[in-house]
Amino acid sequence: MERRRARIHEARRRRRIKRRMRWIVTRIVPFCLAIVLVLTGAGFGIKGLVTLIRDHAGSVQQADAKAQSTDIAAQTEDVQAAEIVAGENAGTGDFDAAADIVGDTANPSSAITLEDGETVGGNDADLIQGAPFYADRTEYTGTFQPDVLAERGILIDPKTHTIIADKGGTERMIPASMTKVLTLLVAAEHITDLEDTFTMTVEIGDYVKEHDLSFVGFNTGEVVTVRDLLYGTILPSGGDAALGLATYVAGSHEAFVDMMNEKVAQLGFSETTHFTNCVGIYDENHYSTCYDIAMIMQAALENELCRQILTEHIYTTKPTPQHPAGIEISNWFLRRIEDKDCGGLVMYAKTGYVKESGYCAVSYAEGPDGQPYICVTLNSGSSWKCIYDHVRIYGDYFMLNG
């Protein structure tokens, strides 16, 4: 009897143990596994969220740093397509047309009003009014730093008639639309009434189309002021404006080119500079040197009207029936270089482009002490590289004198 009770008790104990184990296996273990899975998933989720936020913040900081450190490259990419259009498809010219496509409108107009006795920019004493136009090499004449990309160029101190740096600056080259500095000077010396008018002709329109010239946008038959022709020649490098100016002053393009070459002879550069047109299109007999262009720029800067036009950033032409709001035009070189740190102030400039010369420019700048320089570069590789070449060149020599 006792033995039987013991067996029953043992059987019940074993059944209780089995039930408890079954309960643990079917209830507790799944519950614990669920808790573990939930906690593990939450952990990964939180970690992932934290990682995502951290990575995003880091990428933003890296992007900002990269944007600041690669300003030149980023801007070059922005205008790459425009340069192709303005350069390869528009053989005139000037790389200001490329800038027009990009449409930079960040900088305000630098319009200057002339009053009696007032000059525009520059210092008459620094420019040495009436002095002969020359600059000599000295024992201190150097060349440009390796980071300057221009194939050729020259830096001149017009105050002391000194060549500061030279890189093939006296070799023959194609001046492209830097030609228009002389176009402006010759016209300015023969104009007496800026409000006089000129009617744009079919011949001018045909010439612009035939040679794929940069243009202001004047229409055939449009009556425009001489002032607008002057600004249109320089700011957007308008072939229509330059041809209109030439015809207004001399009666024909050919007669005006003769006047240009007479001025070249007067300045003393007829052996190394000769022009066949007033707009800068390629011609094997249309040539100059970086040195001569620098001297022509200096001569132009002695003329008050030329200074006013060469320093203008934005200008709007007078309203006409064809353009009731006028046409807004820009000197993109000045607009884009004005916020670049070169150690001084770039005050006057004219750019150019034809396939044979690449992207080129002539500019004038003054350092903090008023020290003037005239810089000419040829074939920098792109419009932005041309701008940064001038920034680097001025920066090197302003820093040297600082």
Check if the beta carbon of residue 94 is closer than 8 Å to that of residue 352.
yes
pLDDT reported for residue 195: 98
Q: Which pLDDT band, with edges at 50, 70 and 90, does 121 fall under?
A: very low
Instruction: Return the domain boundaries, the chain.
Output: 1-61, 85-401
Rounded-to-integer distance, Cα 200 and Cα 73, Å: 40
Rounded-to-integer distance, Cα 383 and Cα 361, Å: 9
pLDDT reported for residue 23: 62
Report, as an integer, the average pLDDT of 260-269. 97
Which secondary structure element, helix H or strand E, spans residue 75, and what is its range?
helix 71-84
User: For helices 29-69 and 71-84, what crossing angle results, to 10°?
Assistant: 70
Residue 134: which of 347, 294, 290 has the closest Cα? 294
pLDDT reported for residue 132: 73
pLDDT reported for residue 8: 55
Residue 311: which of 347, 342, 365 has the closest Cα? 347
Query: What does the block give as tokens for 231?
Result: 């600004």
pLDDT reported for residue 169: 98
pLDDT reported for residue 1: 54
DSSP letter assigned to residue 318: P
3-state secondary structure of 274: strand
DSSP letter assigned to residue 108: P
pLDDT reported for residue 3: 61
Lowest mean pLDDT among 83-97, 149-163, 166-180, 351-365: 83-97
pLDDT reported for residue 6: 60
Whether the pLDDT of residue 252 is over 60: the answer is yes
Whether the pLDDT of residue 334 is over 70: the answer is yes
Residue 235: which of 167, 148, 309 has the closest Cα? 309
| Cβ-Cβ contacts under 8 Å for 77 (sequence gap 6 or more) | none
Whether the pLDDT of residue 29 is over 90: the answer is no
Q: Which pLDDT band, with edges at 50, 70 and 90, does 394 fall under?
A: very high
Whether the pLDDT of residue 172 is over 90: the answer is yes
Mean of all residue pLDDT scores within the chain? 81
Whether the pLDDT of residue 294 is over 90: the answer is yes
Whether the pLDDT of residue 332 is over 80: the answer is yes
Rounded-to-integer distance, Cα 144 and Cα 393, Å: 7
Whether the pLDDT of residue 120 is over 50: the answer is no
pLDDT reported for residue 52: 47
Which secondary structure element, helix H or strand E, spans residue 377, and what is its range?
strand 372-378
Q: Which amino acid is at 1?
A: M
The helix, strand and coil proportions of the chain, stated in percent and rounded to the nearest 5, come to 50, 15, 35
> Residues in the chain, how many?
402
pLDDT reported for residue 148: 97
Q: Which amino acid is at 78?
A: D
pLDDT one-digit tens code per residue, 40-63: 555 545 555 444 444 444 444 444
Report, as an integer, the average pLDDT of 307-334. 98
Q: Which pLDDT band, with edges at 50, 70 and 90, does 28 fall under?
A: confident
pLDDT reported for residue 125: 36
Q: List C-alpha distances in Å: 126 to 121, 123, 363, 369.
A: 11, 5, 15, 11
CATH fold, domain 85-401, is Beta-lactamase (3.40.710)
pLDDT one-digit tens code per residue, 62-72: 444 334 334 44
Rounded-to-integer distance, Cα 399 and Cα 224, Å: 45
Which secondary structure element, helix H or strand E, spans residue 197, and what is its range?
strand 197-199
DSSP letter assigned to residue 226: H
Whether the pLDDT of residue 335 is over 50: the answer is yes
Report, as an integer, the average pLDDT of 351-374. 96
Lowest mean pLDDT among 101-105, 172-176, 240-244, 265-269: 101-105
Rounded-to-integer distance, Cα 336 and Cα 349, Å: 11
Percent of the chain with pLDDT strictly greater than 90: 65
Whether the pLDDT of residue 80 is over 90: the answer is no
Whether the pLDDT of residue 353 is over 80: the answer is yes
Rounded-to-integer distance, Cα 28 and Cα 213, Å: 87
Rounded-to-integer distance, Cα 57 and Cα 62, Å: 9
Q: What is the pTM of this model?
A: 0.72
